[in-house]
Structure 1
Amino acid sequence: MADMPNPIQVQKFLGGMDYPVSKDTILKTAKDSGADQPVLDALGNIPDRQYDGPNAISHELSVNN
């Protein structure tokens, strides 16, 4: 189990997204915002589905990393 990035830190990289969003959009937004590799790795581990808000993403990060 990798060290999970701080959810607040992750959300800083995901600001400005219009929900719902796909996993691909989440990863692209984080990468474009300069997220570091641990954040990208954690986001890469979430299920490939639509997310309806930041809390849904944070929840998946907590259960999948």
Structure 2
Amino acid sequence: MASISPIDLQKALKGADYPASRDDLVSLAKDNGADDVLVEKLANAPTEEFGGPDDVQKVVFQNE
């Protein structure tokens, strides 16, 4: 599986308003041209709402 960098994550979530739902972040990441691996990690996140970027990082970089 390809590795996701923190910079890739920042670019994917540029313009996000928090708190944000998982679906909103998935849609935003797709709109921002995020890698499929990153979009999949967001889509499969066990959390339905994220309070901020740190919450997203914990999910995306978990088990890397």
The TM-score normalised by the length of structure 2 is 0.81
Query: Counterparts of 1:1-65 in structure 2 under 5 Å?
Result: 2-63=1-62
**Aligned mates of 1:23, 1:60 — CA distance in 2:** 11
RMSD: 1.7
Q: How many positions carry a matched residue from both structures?
A: 64
Identity %: 36
Which runs of 5 or more residues in structure 1 are unaligned?
none
CA displacement 1:17-59 (0-9 Å, x = unmatched): 1100000000000001111211212212212411011111001
AA at the equivalent of 2:5: N
Residues 22 and 64 (structure 1 numbering): CA distance in 2 closer, same or farther, change over 3 Å? farther
**Aligned mates of 2:33, 2:24 — CA distance in 1:** 14
- The answer (yes or no) to whether the contact 1:4–1:61 under 8 Å persists in 2 is no
Which runs of 5 or more residues in structure 2 are unaligned?
none
